[in-house]
Structure 1
Amino acid sequence: MRDAVSPVNRKGIRSKDRVRDLGEVFTQPREVDAMIKLVVDGMIENGEGPGEIVHSTWLEPTCGNGNFLWAILELKARAIEQENHETPHGVDLSIRLLQAISSISAIDISPENVGEAHVRILRHAIGWHLYLTGSEPGKQWAITCYDIIKHKIVVGDFLNRCGVLHEVHVSDDGVIVIKPHDFTTLHPGIKKAPKKAKRKARNDV
């Protein structure tokens, strides 16, 4: 499926100011695809099939407006399609799609980027729902999907462990459990010298 959203220029930036202030440069689709392929090739070499790909967990610590997230959902949705053809498991495909989305976590320092990522991933999910099931999702499915997305893609600073990620579990019968994730277990953080210590060190030179 094609992504119709293209909010940045061909150099992968919104503005020079955002590059300066946020270090914001968006990864181009070619690089995204190449990096996703490296991961998937490794999974296949380890004997993992479509089911493992659907449930594989991904964390994007600087997700921008969702270029990697879009590609990861694309990967998982195609795995759902392949899995359904090869070994039908009886799980509703609309639930399977929610399970795939719930295994993707992301964080970004820019609220603008996170908001745009929410919309992009929701639209992508709705498109795949139509493709996989042959029908557009109902209102309740779309609301549930968006709620999962908002809990999985959040505003925060990954390096400094600021923000709240969530674990979302979607059972095969559609029961959803959401709980905050212990952010400190995801990244040890970067230890910075206290400002007073830095000041003293400069004075000693």
Structure 2
Amino acid sequence: MEAQFGQVRSRARVRDLAEVFTHQREVDAMLDLIPDAFAALDIKFLEPSAGSGNFLTEILRRKLRLVTKAGCVSQEQYEHRLLRAAASIYGVDISQENVTEARARMVHVLLEHYQSDANTVEPTTGFLNAAALILGSNIVVGDTLRSPETIEVCDWRPRSAGCFQRVWSFALVPPAARDLFWAERVQDAKPVHYSELAPAPVQAVTATGSKAKVGQ
């Protein structure tokens, strides 16, 4: 992880993007000021200038302290709670490189917790697919300063039995600035189990007649 994403930013990139990377001690000091924000799993966080994810990853680590395999009655409940923690964290950055790095780091934190806490249990395929989908939807490229109205975000509303309901909106637009056409878009008419959130690959027939998997 560090070898892949620990590159030194060039002076030109720092100048062009006005990047300022916060040291871990400052991240810890700032998050220590809001301990109540980590008292419940579904409290939402938004990092409007996420960079490579220094705040996002630490927020996730602190949320994951609320999730233990011993405290869950099943693997389904455990995985659902892990996904709820990830689904409550949002990040936006103007750099695609930063977004890609932040997503990868979040996956690393999530799987590291899973492997250290439940080291005799393998993550299910449904969990891995859902985690990738959630992080891909929640950590995105955008400009929260100049064009927040273009950033659509998903509210992953947790439901019982390992389910979510997704509601999309341009929630970063301040209420006072919302016009008559502003609305939420409900994607799921009924709760969907986390293992079914990501679309399954479909079979496509190639020119030679053989079948190949094509991701949707």
2:33 and 2:116 map into 1 onto residues whose CA distance is 26
Counterpart in the other structure of 1:101? 86
1:72: Cα distance to partner? 0.5
TM-score, normalised on structure 2?
Answer: 0.70
Choose between structure 1 and 2: higher strand proportion: 2
8 A contact 1:159–1:187 mirrored in 2: no
Q: With the length of structure 1 as denominator, give the TM-score of the two structures.
A: 0.73
2:17 pairs, out of 8, 18, 22, with: 22
**3-state SS of paired residue (2:144):** coil
Aligned to 1:36: 31
The answer to whether structure 1 residue 178 and structure 2 residue 177 are counterparts is: no
Three-state SS of the structure 2 residue aligned to 1:169 is: strand
State the one-letter code of the partner of 1:143: N
Q: Residues 4 and 21 of structure 1: is their aligned pair in 2 closer, same or farther, counting only changes over 3 Å?
A: closer
Q: Distance in 2 between matches of 1:174 and 1:90?
A: 12
Percent identity at matched positions?
Answer: 32
What's 1:192 paired with? none
Residue pair 1:118, 1:149 contacting (<8 A) in 2 also: yes
Task: Map 1:38-53 onto structure 2 (within 5 A).
Answer: 38-40=33-35, 43=36, 50=39, 52=40
- How many positions carry a matched residue from both structures? 171
**C-alpha deviation, 1:159, in angstroms:** 1.0
The answer (yes or no) to whether the contact 1:164–1:181 under 8 Å persists in 2 is yes
| Residues 126 and 142, structure 1, Cα contact 8 Å, conserved in 2 | no
- In structure 1, what is the Cα distance between the partners aligned to 2:6 and 2:155? 29
**Structure 2: segments with no counterpart, 5+ residues:** 178-216
- In structure 1, the partner of 2:199 is none
Equivalent residue number for residue 65 of structure 1? 52
Question: Structure 1: where are the runs of 5+ without partners?
Answer: 190-205
The 2-side partners of 1:128 and 1:165 are apart by: 26
Q: How does 1:44-193 map to 2 (within 5 A)?
A: 50=39, 52=40, 54-81=41-68, 88=71, 90=73, 92-134=77-119, 135-160=121-146, 161=148, 162-186=150-174
Check the 8 A contact 1:95/1:172 in 2, yes or no.
no
